[in-house]
């Protein structure tokens, strides 16, 4: 398998809520090691797209392939296995409130993957170490700051050895001074070659790391290309317009 293999492919995903057609014919390809960033105004469909990609929201139509195999989502076994391979980071962290940080990372290992407790604990601690939270392993979500909670949720997702990581506005719910610690973790992940799709408003940060920007508005993918092309001096892209507006409001790097 070459480094340029397509790991995840989605074809014409559609999703409507009632009469509201939120996601229209979304299509994209993801190669190993790529980081594709979803950009655009709120309500544009970024979050819906991500949640359709791991079937948290079942799409009304469209197909998904992982490593060349089309996923038959009707089959529960296949669905659960697929979700183990495609991890997700939420805007609201969604840590399990009744479990400590370490237990949060460990629970899917023991209950979903069936790994024995001792090995699972070691793996959980290793992942927490990776995101810099090993010292707080015994603390509960109620005792952690937003940035710390998000880092634990990254560890939890990574422990499953996902092939792809979906990040749904990972820093949007954080106080400004806590954003940095999470961005550092994401940067390390990108550098280590993790394949990711991320929705975010952190333009400057993403521009350095992203293989491709995907601009979404009103459910459609309007344009997609490398950040360099879309944000070039001479470019006349919607992306550039949008980013300019965000910068006016003082986006932090």
Partner 1 sequence: MEEYWLFASERVIPGLNVALLISAKLIVPSALYGMLLGVITGVLRVYGFAWVRRVADIYVALFRGTPLVVQLYFWYFALPYISIAGHSIVLNAMQASILGFALCSAAYQSEYVRGGLLSIRAGQFKAAKALGMSPLQTVLHVVLPQAIRRSMPGIGNEIIYLIKYSSLASIITVEELMGAARSIAKATWRPVEAYGTVAIYYLVLVTLAMWLLRWAEDYFSIPGFERSKED
Q: Does 83 bind partner 1 (CB under 8 A)?
A: yes
Q: Does 14 bind partner 1 (CB under 8 A)?
A: no
- Could you give the CA distance from residue 124 to residue 143 in angstroms, rounded to a whole number? 19
Judged by CB under 8 A, the residue of 14, 16, 84, 184 near partner 1 is 84
Q: Does 87 bind partner 1 (CB under 8 A)?
A: yes
Torsion of CA 120, 126, 127, 132, to 10 degrees: 150
Q: Does 17 bind partner 1 (CB under 8 A)?
A: no
Count of CB atoms situated within 10 Å of the CB of 127: 23
Q: Does 15 bind partner 1 (CB under 8 A)?
A: no
Judged by CB under 8 A, the residue of 16, 24, 56, 188 near partner 1 is 56
Find the binding residues for partner 1 in span 115-174 (CB under 8 A).
139-143, 153, 156-157, 160
Stretch that binds partner 1, among 4-12, 26-34, 94-102, 115-123 (CB under 8 A): 94-102
**Residues 6 or more apart in contact with residue 70 via CB below 8 angstroms:** 63, 64
Count the residues of the shown chain that bind partner 1, applying the rule CB under 8 A.
32
Binding mask 186-225 for partner 1 (x = CB under 8 A): ----------------------------------------
Q: Is 251 exposed, middle or buried (0-12, 13-18, 19+ CB in 10 A)?
A: middle
Q: Count Cα atoms within 13 angstroms, Cβ side, for 187.
A: 13
Residues that bind partner 1 (CB under 8 A): 51, 54, 56, 76, 80-84, 87-88, 90, 92-98, 107-108, 111-112, 139-143, 153, 156-157, 160
């Amino acid at each position: 398998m070459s480094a340029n293999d397509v790991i995840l492919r989605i074809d014409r995903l559609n999703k409507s809520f009632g009469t509201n057609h939120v996601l229209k014919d979304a299509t994209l390809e993801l190669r190993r090691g790529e980081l594709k960033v979803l950009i655009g105004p709120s309500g544009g469909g970024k979050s819906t797209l991500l949640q359709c990609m791991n079937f948290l929201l079942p799409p009304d139509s469209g197909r998904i392939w992982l490593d060349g195999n089309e996923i038959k989502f009707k089959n529960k076994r296949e669905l659960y296995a697929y979700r183990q391979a495609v991890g997700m980071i939420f805007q609201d962290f969604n840590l399990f409130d009744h479990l400590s940080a370490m237990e949060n990372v460990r629970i899917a290992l023991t209950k979903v993957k069936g790994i024995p407790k001792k090995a699972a604990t070691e793996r959980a601690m290793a992942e927490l170490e990776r995101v810099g939270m090993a010292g707080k392993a015994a603390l509960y979500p109620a005792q952690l700051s937003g940035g710390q909670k998000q880092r634990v949720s990254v560890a939890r997702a990574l422990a499953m050895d996902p092939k792809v990581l979906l990040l749904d506005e990972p820093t949007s719910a954080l106080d400004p001074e806590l954003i940095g610690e999470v961005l550092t973790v994401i940067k390390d992940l990108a550098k280590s070659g993790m394949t990711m799709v991320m929705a975010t408003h952190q333009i400057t940060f993403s521009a350095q790391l992203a293989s491709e920007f995907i601009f979404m508005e009103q459910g459609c993918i309007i344009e997609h290309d490398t950040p360099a092309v879309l944000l070039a001096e001479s470019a006349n892209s919607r992306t550039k317009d949008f980013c300019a507006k965000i910068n006016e409001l003082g986006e932090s790097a």
